[in-house]
Amino acid sequence: MAKVISMKCMKCGREETPRPDRYTCDTCGIDGILDIIYDYKSTPLTINDLERNPDRSLWRYRCMLPIEAETPVSPLQVGWTPLYKQTRLEREFGLGNVFIKDDGRNPSASLKDRASAIGVAKAIEAKAKAICAASTGNAASSLSAFAASMGIPAYIFVPKRAPRAKVAQLLVYGAHTLLIDSTYDRAFELSVEASRRYGFYSRNCAYNPYLVEGKKTVAYEIWEQLGYKIPDRVYVSIGDGCITAGLYKGFYDLVQIGLSDRLPRIIGVQAAGCNPMEVAMKTGEFKEQTPDTIADSIAVGVPRNRLKALRGLKASAGECISVTDDAIRESLVGMPRVTGVFGEPAAVTAYAGFRKQAHSGVIGNNETVVILITGNGLKDIESALSVCTMPEPIDPTFDAVEKYLR
Ligand SMILES: *Cc1c(COP(=O)(O)O)cnc(C)c1O
Ligand SMILES: [Zn+2]
């Protein structure tokens, strides 16, 4: 296993001794998000081993994850999601190599499962009696599934406007569900307080430093599925910034252990109605916002993992852009009709960001581009239906069929 040396504060640089239930820096408090620091000299990941490894899940990278060798993990199959080549998009934009990584193919239908797999394992290491999370929806449904698979009670804080399918997931998995009559940002604060008062293990990606380590496996997979090559650009939507941070960490690891010699440019995409990261990248200053977007999973006015995400965007020579809700709505149907992949609004935001840059001609035709689809479209069918026209029922006669076809 890759040896964890310390947990280092992103704000003040102070290093803490690793402990499964340490979340933030003692000096900086909640803004002092920690980063897991490895001894890369001891890392055992090799291409030879990968080629011989039959495991088609994120556990094929277990040696790069901060989990003890004997810790039990959930049997749910997470990761090793498909990377599809997009010949239609390549033709449309005159590009050579465009791929979609469909992480909606995970057990609870979002990329959040990569973090929950780790979160539940860490909860077991911490001997926690229960686990809690605040979520715009997907982290919650994901945690509920993983907690159920390991028999750990889950307490979930979600804003009441979370899409119904996501709430349905919480209920069927049997999570204790607190529908908060407020925003995600408020639900987050309440969950942190509940974790503190009742000793619940906190699966808040925005804050628990181990979770980003699960999300980094998506970068390893992209590298491995491209034939051990690093793409030039990766498009990813940004809410709290944990996925962005995870992508960067995965690609960074590969450079540190000598399996790659460069990083891809990470292009973060936000909704124009909630773009605090874009503003922070452009002005160097962070300002809280009140979210106003159809893309609920990235309606985050106070991105908790902004320091880690900003580091990833800057260190990778990336950037953060935004797209309008109209562009997101267009992509809700536009992407499935061109790619066969159905994403929820926050997921197609990355696709809309790709289209925006492809149209403006900033992508070189020899570049390899990956668009990360973070959640399945069935998560939010209200939004999908809002951009489609429901057909009127027709008579069950062949005359009616003929009339329709004419
Ligand atoms: C959580 C989520 C995001 C945003 O990820 P962050 O780590 O919060 O930036 C994007 N898309 C989907 C589908 C999500 O569930
Ligand atoms: Zn600190």
Ligand nearest to the CA of residue 31, numbered in listed order: 2
Is residue 296 in contact with ligand 1, taking CB distance under 6 Å?
A: no
Distance CA 232, CA 265 (A): 6
Label residue 334 by pLDDT band (50, 70, 90): very high
What is the DSSP track for 316-358?
Answer: TT-EEEEE-HHHHHHHHHHHHHHHS--B-HHHHHHHHHHHHHH
**Res 338: pLDDT:** 98
Residue 234 falls within a domain, yes or no?
A: yes
**Res 185: pLDDT:** 84
pTM over 0.85: yes
Q: How many angstroms is it from 298 CA to the middle of ligand 1?
A: 6
What would the pLDDT profile of 360-388 be if each residue is shown by its tens digit?
Answer: 999 999 999 999 999 999 999 999 999 99
3-state secondary structure 189-225: HHHHHHHHHHCCEECCCCCCHHHHHHHCHHHHHHHHH
Distance CA 109, CA 71 (A): 25
Residue 231 falls within a domain, yes or no?
A: yes
What would the pLDDT profile of 258-268 be if each residue is shown by its tens digit?
Answer: 999 999 999 99
What would the pLDDT profile of 155-209 be if each residue is shown by its tens digit?
Answer: 999 988 888 999 999 999 999 999 999 988 899 899 999 999 999 999 886 779 9
Residue 273 falls within a domain, yes or no?
A: yes
Percent pLDDT > 90 in the chain is 90
Class of residue 114 by CB neighbours under 10 A (exposed 0-12, middle 13-18, buried 19+): buried
pLDDT at 42 over 80: no
Distance CA 238, CA 259 (A): 27
> How many residues make up the chain in this entry?
406
Residue 249 falls within a domain, yes or no?
A: yes
Is residue 241 in contact with ligand 1, taking CB distance under 6 Å?
A: yes
Residue 204 falls within a domain, yes or no?
A: no
Residue 230 falls within a domain, yes or no?
A: yes
Q: How many angstroms is it from 125 CA to the middle of ligand 2?
A: 24
The whole-number average pLDDT for the span 19-30 is 89
**Res 34: pLDDT:** 95
Give, in degrees to the nearest 5, the angle at Cα 378 between 150 and 183.
75
Structural tokens at position 359: 């149209």
**Res 41: pLDDT:** 87
Range of the domain at 225: 83-109+211-386
Residue 243 neighbours by CB under 8 Å, 6+ apart? 111, 215, 218, 236, 237, 372, 374
The CATH number of the domain holding residue 268 is 3.40.50.1100
4: β partners: 38
What separation in angstroms does the CA of 358 have from each of 150, 339, 363? 44, 16, 6
Q: How many angstroms is it from 239 CA to the middle of ligand 1?
A: 6
The count of structural domains within the chain is: 1
- Parallel/antiparallel/unpaired status of strands 131-134 and 97-102: unpaired
What separation in angstroms does the CA of 216 have from each of 64, 113, 115, 128, 247? 10, 12, 9, 24, 5
Residue 199 falls within a domain, yes or no?
A: no
pLDDT at 317 over 90: yes
Is residue 112 in contact with ligand 1, taking CB distance under 6 Å?
A: yes
The DSSP code for 274 is: B
Residue 296 falls within a domain, yes or no?
A: yes
